[in-house]
Amino acid sequence: MRVFVTGVGGYIGGAVAVRLLQEGHTVVGLTRDGAKVGALARLGIQPVVGTLDDADVLTVQARGADAVVNAADSDHLRAVRTLVAALAGSGKPLIHTSGSSIVGVGTDGEVSSAIFHEDVLDSDSGWEPEHPIRKARVAIDRLVLAAAEQGVRTAVLCHSLIYGPAQGLPGESVLIAALVRQARAAGVVRQVGGGGNIWSNVHLGDVAELYLLALEKSSPGTFYFVESGEESIGAMAAAIARCLGLPGPVPWHPDADADAADSVWDPQFAMHALGSNSRVRGSRARDLLGWRPRHHSIIDWLSSTSFGETVER
Ligand SMILES: NC(=O)c1ccc[n+]([C@@H]2O[C@H](COP(=O)([O-])OP(=O)(O)OC[C@H]3O[C@@H](n4cnc5c(N)ncnc54)[C@H](OP(=O)(O)O)[C@@H]3O)[C@@H](O)[C@H]2O)c1
């Protein structure tokens, strides 16, 4: 199969591309960065230089492929519209990458009991899909799912916090990198508030496996939460402290500590990501696609990683 992958130079797209290549598929990958072309080609990927705004590039590549994986940006509406239009009536798979911050609950580091299931997008009750922080991403996810009616075999993989080593070019997951970056800048590991807030999570290797399964056999218009465990940010921060040999974790408060000289967290990011909960449960990947995640502990991984320079970006 010839698969067009956006975000092939990134953390998720890179892992998906490498896994597809291992299975003997051909991968054509979009990158904005001409300097990555050589490294991508050495991985076996056929690079195409362009951006998600280049409608002609996306259209030609999507039409020339047997399937499309959109892993560059969960929030790029124009790209999704272009890809759907290019594939309309083809019956080809379009696997879109989303993230479980769509059901985030900001609590400044306190645990929330709210747990969300895969029917969440079917209704507007019981959560706040219109909240400004998530409205645009929710609308894109719904648009992708609705494109099944236009003859595209769409799926939305809505990932929780992804962890694990990069599989393609160097890269790292956003939340872990932010915790490590702050720790290095401050000489102490920090967490938002008490750090009791919880994120579901999943290993990058298991994520890549799921794209393969979804490309192969997902039914049109299916939404998946992708998770295989959950953990508090405080426990993650403690594991990072042990690994880096730094003190902490100590509380950090977006309002009071944002101006600290060693602070590298944007207060909005701290509040809505590091200080929030995103607790999801997904059964469809297991029940419908036979997905069997092999990794179940982000703490085990954090405890065994050296946090090389690739964690910085
Ligand atoms: N990592 C997670 O835990 C996680 C979980 C859930 C959802 N997500 C979402 O999934 C998406 C991908 O995440 P990621 O962790 O793989 O991010 P990433 O490592 O930053 O990779 C995304 C790649 O997409 C490419 N890209 C970005 N904007 C582009 C544009 N306008 N046109 C063309 N290419 C563009 C960039 O590669 P080039 O520089 O080569 O162009 C970038 O390296 C993000 O929207 C993220 O919010 C991530």
- Concatenate the DSSP letters of all residues of 270-285 into one string: IIIIITEEB-B---HH
164 lines ligand 1 (CB under 6 A): no
The CA 163 to ligand 1 mean position distance, Å, reads 14
229 lines ligand 1 (CB under 6 A): no
Is domain 2-311 in CATH 3.40.50.720, yes or no? yes
Look at residue 262 in the predicted model and tell me its pLDDT. 75
Look at residue 237 in the predicted model and tell me its pLDDT. 97
Query: Which two structure tokens, joined as six digits, stand for 56?
Result: 């002609």
Classify residue 263 as left (phi > 0), alpha (psi -120 to 50) or beta. beta
Look at residue 280 in the predicted model and tell me its pLDDT. 98
Q: How far apart are CA 22 and CA 20, in angstroms?
A: 5
Low-confidence ranges of the chain (pLDDT < 70): 261, 308-313
Look at residue 312 in the predicted model and tell me its pLDDT. 37
Q: How far apart are CA 189 and CA 235, in angstroms?
A: 11
Look at residue 308 in the predicted model and tell me its pLDDT. 63
Can you tell me whether residue 265 is helix, strand or coil? coil
The CA 145 to ligand 1 mean position distance, Å, reads 20
169 lines ligand 1 (CB under 6 A): no
DSSP 89: T
Look at residue 306 in the predicted model and tell me its pLDDT. 80
Look at residue 33 in the predicted model and tell me its pLDDT. 97
112 lines ligand 1 (CB under 6 A): no
Is the model's pTM score more than 0.85? yes
Look at residue 301 in the predicted model and tell me its pLDDT. 96
Residue nearest to atom 3 of ligand 1 (CA): 162
Look at residue 192 in the predicted model and tell me its pLDDT. 95
Q: How far apart are CA 105 and CA 111, in angstroms?
A: 9
The CA 54 to ligand 1 mean position distance, Å, reads 16
